[in-house]
């Protein structure tokens, strides 16, 4: 019993020390953490097109032919192959993920679709490992809320953008209780703005044409 009574406070102390590392220092939002490879089938579920309308979202962004774009947290490539069609053969899509197994599935999907302009990029928790100063667009679909080191990630993403490049987030609307997603995986506009603008970005516009998600378009602030 004495060993048990000693161990329990020690565990609680360790949890309390670790807790601040799992929340954003500005908003106090708890980080959701990355989806594991076991969740890959959910990324290509048949309902996703109706629930998220990915092509409508990309239409709103008006991506130019020949553009260099990044798909952060690309998973199995659900958005990457759509982006590849938008930028055309002279454009390039950098499909980033931190899980090698996801990228292996992404490669297979690109081969099956005969897509040759997608470059898989194995990133790290604090660095997407994108070419510096080359991105016209960095896209994160249902991904930003999962970052466990968002401030470092944003700084590297900013470095990857061209001076007129855009960073775009799609996040489930936390303001809407009818959106059937766990609260940990939803964000408000105020949360996103409060966390991202201090890292050298400015919220240019919010597009609300999707059934469940905000489209939040950021541009770089001058250095």
Q: How far is Cα 149 from Cα 24, in angstroms, rounded to an integer?
A: 9
Q: How far is Cα 26 from Cα 198, in angstroms, rounded to an integer?
A: 10
pLDDT at 37 (0 to 100): 87
Strands 161-173 and 213-220: antiparallel
Q: What is the DSSP string of 38-56?
A: GGHHHHT-TTHHHHH-HHH
Q: How far is Cα 141 from Cα 54, in angstroms, rounded to an integer?
A: 9
* Contact between residue 80 and residue 106 where contact means Cβ atoms under 8 Å apart: yes
Query: Domain map of the chain by residue range?
Result: 32-220
* Contact between residue 203 and residue 196 where contact means Cβ atoms under 8 Å apart: yes
pLDDT at 13 (0 to 100): 32
Question: What residue spans of 88-206 are helical by DSSP H?
Answer: 100-112, 150-160, 189-196
Q: How far is Cα 212 from Cα 54, in angstroms, rounded to an integer?
A: 11
* Contact between residue 205 and residue 218 where contact means Cβ atoms under 8 Å apart: no
- CATH class, 32-220 region: alpha beta
Q: How far is Cα 83 from Cα 91, in angstroms, rounded to an integer?
A: 9
pLDDT one digit per residue (tens) for the chain, 223 residues: 333 332 323 332 333 333 347 999 999 999 999 988 888 888 989 999 999 999 999 999 999 999 999 999 999 999 999 999 999 999 999 999 999 999 999 999 999 999 999 999 999 999 999 999 999 999 999 999 999 999 999 999 999 999 999 999 999 999 999 999 999 999 999 999 999 999 999 999 999 999 999 999 999 998 7
pLDDT at 161 (0 to 100): 98
Two structure tokens written together for 177: 């209780």
Q: How far is Cα 90 from Cα 76, in angstroms, rounded to an integer?
A: 22
CA angle 132, 150, 76 (to 5 degrees): 75
């Amino acid at each position: 019993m004495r060993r048990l009574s000693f161990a329990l406070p020690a565990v609680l102390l360790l949890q309390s020390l670790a807790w601040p590392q799992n929340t954003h220092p500005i908003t106090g939002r708890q980080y959701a953490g990355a989806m594991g490879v076991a969740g890959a089938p959910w990324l290509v579920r048949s309902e996703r097109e109706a629930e998220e309308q990915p092509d409508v979202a990309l239409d709103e962004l008006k991506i130019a032919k020949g553009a260099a774009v990044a798909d952060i947290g690309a998973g199995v490539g659900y958005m990457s192959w759509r982006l590849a069609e938008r930028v055309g053969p002279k454009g390039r899509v950098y499909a980033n993920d931190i899980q090698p197994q996801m990228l292996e599935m992404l490669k297979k999907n690109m081969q099956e679709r005969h897509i040759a302009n997608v470059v898989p990029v194995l990133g790290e928790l604090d660095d997407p490992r994108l070419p510096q100063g080359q991105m016209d667009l960095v896209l994160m679909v249902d991904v930003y809320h999962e970052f466990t080191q968002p401030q470092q990630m944003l700084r590297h993403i900013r470095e990857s953008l061209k001076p007129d490049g855009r960073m775009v987030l799609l996040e489930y609307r936390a303001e809407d209780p009818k959106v059937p997603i766990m609260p940990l995986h939803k964000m408000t506009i105020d949360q996103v703005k409060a966390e991202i603008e201090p890292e050298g970005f400015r919220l240019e516009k919010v597009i609300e044409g999707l059934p469940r998600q905000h489209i939040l378009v950021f541009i770089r602030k001058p250095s």
